[in-house]
Amino acid sequence: MKTMGLGKCNILKKRQIKIETLRICLYMKSLFLGWFEPLRDVIGAEQELCKEGKNRTTYAPFFDQLPADIMAVITMHKLMGLLMTGGGHGSARVLQAACSIGDKLQK
């Protein structure tokens, strides 16, 4: 029986890594798309309430400075970054997340 050469083994290894990386990227993209629309819609609804002056006086003047879709993308991106660097536990402190997202939205 013939054994596989080192070159062939390396080619197959690179191919496998490429396939797995593509699969993970597609999965993450589907997760983000599944979260994006509901988050965008909630932000948009909250922006409407702020415009109507419905008991949101503390943050209302600032909450509609960006379109809802941009706010959703920034929020998701920042939160995922915090979760991925949160000490290996897959969690982030709520206050840290809120402050970090708020800082990013202000820039």
Residue pair 76/29 in contact (Cβ under 8 Å)? The answer is: no
CA 32 to chain centre: 6
Residues 21-65: pLDDT tens digits? Answer: 999 888 888 888 899 999 999 999 999 988 888 777 788 888 889
Residue 55 in tokens: 């008991």
Instruction: Give pTM, 2 decimals.
Output: 0.67
Q: Is 37 exposed, middle or buried (0-12, 13-18, 19+ CB in 10 A)?
A: exposed
List of residues 6+ apart from 41 with CB closer than 8 A = 68
